[in-house]
Structure 1
Amino acid sequence: MTAGSSAVRRTRWRDRIVAALVLVAVWMLLWGVFSWATLAGGIVVAAVVLKVFPLPAVTFAGRPHPLGLLRFAVRFAGDLVRASVQLAVLAFRLGHQPRSAIIRVPLRVPSDLVLTLTGEAVSLVPGSLIVDTDQASTTLYIHVIGVADRDAVERFRREVYATEARIVRAIGSEAEIGMLGRPVPVRRREDS
């Protein structure tokens, strides 16, 4: 056994343990009861789920950056409040039909984890929802409500890029953080 295969094996075990801990935590939160029986049941369910439905490997090349995590959390909370207020204003404007669009956003960092986390963060903010992803090109297709014109579309696209950057700066590797310096992919005429 080589040192490289040993490191890969340790990484796989670490990923499985993290997945099991997350599944147990979700199990306990769903039951709403923190007891030894619930914990034991969660461990059994996590073991069965991980054995019967093995998850594909998701590479995590980075490490948590506490200051980046704090910046992401604070900005995400602010985005939730701001978007909720904007959506409430749209809902109560009588006679106004808000326009919506599906916006294509190719991300700069080619990582499944960054694609997933960016998509989740964008979808959790009211008024936007991921409708499709293209894993090969790490592209998000996002339905957005309340876009009045192309300037609003571009503003939203820049917000997604800013979210991607905050996520990468919170958990990314040095190489991934360096990719944020790449120019934003050029928008073709048919893109919205």
Structure 2
Amino acid sequence: MSPDTRRGALRRVWVQLPFFVWLVVLWMLLWGQFTVLAAVTGIVMAVFVTSVFRLPAAELSGRVNLWYGLVFVAIFLVELVRGALTVAWQTVSPGLPGTAIIRVPLRVDDDLVMTHTAVAASLIPGSLVVEADRENRVLYLHVIGVRDTADVDRQRRSVQRWEERAVRAVGSRAALALIRSGAAPYAERQTQEGGGR
């Protein structure tokens, strides 16, 4: 094996290692056991899943900001509780809460950031991603508790802030620069570039 081939193989292993570790942790969470046996069987299952059900490799940015990662998790936990209390209140208050399907254009062309954003938006009670347009980087969410266009705009901005937090935590330097510059949504930029040719 040539040194270049070996370096390429090591890089692929290093890039996929977080996903592999997450599969093992997920296996242990499913069984509710954090034991050596659960870890070993988790490793066996992770090897099986990654070798039999091969998915396209997700490219990591190579940049992780631990501070913003902790901020992401802390804000997520606070919003999780707040969302649960809001939905609980809406279920016992008189009248039906308004609902809407809203379109949320994202700014960054990155699968991992889009996934983090969609998962955060879906796990917080009161909203659920019903469709993800990967090509145009647009999420469509079903939300409850919407009374007017101001509520729709507030929800849209909330999801875009999740995108910003994800970029600050694990996004590439180019994505971070894009967020900091206040760039237009990805689909809008693509339309402008296509129209300018």
Query: What TM-score do you get using the length of structure 2 for normalisation?
Result: 0.85
**Is the contact between residue 105 and residue 139 of structure 1 (CA under 8 Å) also seen in structure 2?**
yes
2:25 is aligned to 25
What is the match of residue 179 of structure 1? 178
Task: In structure 2, list runs of 5 or more residues that go unmatched.
Answer: 189-197
SS at 2:102 equivalent: strand
Q: Deviation of residue 70 (structure 1)?
A: 2.1
Aligned residue pairs, count: 186
1:174 positional shift:
1.5
Stretch of structure 1 that moved more, 19-28 or 136-145: 19-28
Cα displacement string for residues 18-56 of structure 1 (whole angstroms, at most 9, x for unaligned residues): 332222222222223344433332222111111110121
SS in structure 2 at match of 1:147? coil
Task: Encode CA deviations 1:131-151: one digit per residue, 9 max, x unaligned.
Answer: 000111111011100110111
- The change in CA–CA distance for 1:71 and 1:36 in structure 2 (over 3 A counts) is closer
Give the equivalent residue in structure 2 for 1:101: 100
- Any idea what the Cα deviations from partners look like across 1:38-83, whole Å, max 9, x if unmatched? 3332222111111110121111114111221122122212211221
Runs of 4+ with deviation above 6 angstroms: none
Between 1:69-78 and 1:103-112, the stretch displaced more is 69-78
Task: Tell me the equivalent position of 1:116.
Answer: 115
Q: In the alignment, which residue of structure 2 is the partner of 1:155?
A: 154
1:54 corresponds to which residue?
54
2:137 aligned residue = 138
Determine the C-alpha separation between the residues in 2 that align with 1:77 and 1:34: 23
**Once the 2 structures are TM-superposed, how far is the Cα of residue 9 of structure 1 from its aligned partner?**
3.2
Structure 1 residues 30-39 or 55-64, which shifts more? 30-39
What SS does the aligned partner of 2:140 have? strand
Q: Tell me, what secondary structure is at the counterpart of 1:148? A: coil
**Greater per-residue helix proportion:** 2
Q: How far 1:186 moved relative to its partner? A: 10
Instruction: Tell me, yes or no, if the aligned pair for 2:108 and 2:185 is still in contact at 8 Å.
Output: no
Match of 2:194 in 1: none
Match of 2:69 in 1: 69
Corresponding residue number in structure 2 for 1:83? 83
Shift of the 157–6 alpha-carbon distance from structure 1 to 2, 3 Å rule, reads farther
Q: Counterpart of 1:132 in structure 2: which amino acid?
A: E
Gapped runs of 5+ residues in structure 1?
none
Comparing 64-73 with 44-53, greater Cα deviation is found at 64-73
Q: Residue deviations 1:151-172, cap 9 Å, x none?
A: 1100111111111111111111
Does the 8 Å contact 1:62/1:174 carry over to 2?
no
